[in-house]
Structure 1
Amino acid sequence: MSAPLVLPERGGVAVQLVTGPAGDDGRRTFEIFSRADEGEWVRHGSGALVAGGVTSPVVVGVWPPSGVVEVDLAGVYDRLSDAGYGYGPVFQGLGRLWRGDGGLFAEVGLAEQSRSFGVHPALLDAALHPLLPGVVEEGGRSWLPFSFAGVRVHAAGASVLRVRLSVVADDGDSLVVSLTA
């Protein structure tokens, strides 16, 4: 079981990434843990890394896609804060959002460009904000990501992304989402 990482108002949190040995296929599992002070380590997520061949980036085409409806994001971060999701200024990167038959389509960005990351954590986090309750519609379930698979980075250092989120599977307890940025 995984738990969200909660950052305290004061002090720090130790974070560690534990990788498993490479298998015969080159696949290497990983888990992300944290602990406050000298407390117990808490697991926050897991995944697998696979050495892969070069693949072509996915091209979205017309933006925003035709047939989508824009979602009003006025006050979205105030609503998220009221629901217990406190995002600081760096992590408030959801700019525009549309919904349609093909899923959710978002524009996310950073206040400042950062080339020190392949994909800046705040940019990736903002790409997932449409999955939180109160963003697309009132109420609803909160879908927090605990594992990633099939990740490929085709370019590094972006400060703005166009994102497509589409549901691959939903069994009521867990959701599998495809994210293309």
Structure 2
Amino acid sequence: MKDAEHPLLGACVTLADEQTTVFTGRLSLDTHPWLADHAINDTPVLPGTAYLELAIHAGDHTGTPHLQELTLHSPLVLDRDAPALVQVTVHASDGDGHRALTIHARPDDGDDEQPWTCHATGALAPGSPAVSEAPDLGVWPPPGARPVATDDLYRRFGERGFAYGPLFQGVRAAWRTPDAVYAEIRLPDPEAATGYTLHPALLD
């Protein structure tokens, strides 16, 4: 077992088949207080972007950096009194280099009989995905884009039951064109991004 080299994961181990790799972690609102900044109806829930971050990290460390798909099956509610144990499993290759990915969790409340819940499944592949040509952003904001008011963005989210705490309030400005929306987004605490491919709060 070795260090998983990620802020949300503690260790990883390659099983005896020498193909399956399991990453483990323990999510707690005490050790990761920013997770409380993502709440639905006052209940902290792991953001969907965190599953994406975990999947990409696991793929990068198992020779399959291309995340082909990721499906979320069940929300992970974060209990203020009991941390969650997390397992990210990269399964054996199918022969073409593609590998299935699963993300499970269960409460860490001292009851070893607690069942594991599958929160996400995905597919990883070697190589890099094709990247479409990026728009020319040499002029900012893009010509013809109209400003979009963002001053009350998070208040309006709150009225709909989506409570975004300080770290998730990263939108600074936005503009709209007939076929796109452009935005300036940054983490209120830039140092929080250390160790992440792309911090879930920023991506969210």
Q: TM over 0.5: same fold?
A: yes
Compare relative contact order (CA 8 Å, sep 6+) and give the higher one, 1 or 2. 2
Report the Cα offset of residue 52 of structure 1: 0.9
Q: CA RMSD in A?
A: 2.7
Deviation at 1:66, TM superposition (A): 2.7
Aligned partner of 1:95 in structure 2 is 172
Q: How many residues align?
A: 125
Report the CA distance between 1:26 and its aligned residue.
1.4
Q: Which of these two proteins has the greater Rg computed from alpha carbons?
A: 2
Secondary structure of 2:154's partner?
helix
- 2: CA distance, partners of 1:8 / 1:15: 14
Any unmatched runs of 5+ in structure 1?
A: 126-181
Once the two structures are superposed, the pairs formed by residues 162-173 of structure 1 within 5 Å of their partners are none
- 1:12 aligns with 83
The aligned counterpart of 1:179 is none
Instruction: Give me the TM-score of the superposition, normalised by structure 1.
Output: 0.56
1:30 corresponds to which letter in structure 2?
L
Query: Please, which moves more after superposition, 33-42 or 86-95?
Result: 33-42
1:49 is the counterpart of 2:124:
yes
**Amino acid paired to 2:151:** A
Where does structure 2 lack aligned partners over 5 or more consecutive residues?
Answer: 1-71
Q: Measured at CA, do residues 29 and 76 of structure 1 come closer, stay the same or move farther in structure 2, by a change above 3 Å?
A: same
Q: How does 1:128-139 map to 2 (within 5 A)?
A: none
Matched, 1:21 2:119: no
**TM-score in terms of structure 2 length:** 0.51
2: distance between equivalents of 1:20 and 1:95?
40
Structure 2 distance, partners of 1:8, 1:86, is: 16
CA distance in 2, matches of 1:60, 1:5: 36
- Considering fraction of residues, name the structure with more strand: 2
Aligned to 2:190: 112
More helix by share: 2
% identical aligned pairs: 34
TM-aligned CA deviation for residue 22 of structure 1: 1.6
1:121-179 CA distances to partner (integer Å, 9 max, x unpaired)? 22222xxxxxxxxxxxxxxxxxxxxxxxxxxxxxxxxxxxxxxxxxxxxxxxxxxxxxx
Q: Cα–Cα, structure 1 residues 9 and 67, in superposed 2: closer, same or farther, change >3 Å?
A: farther
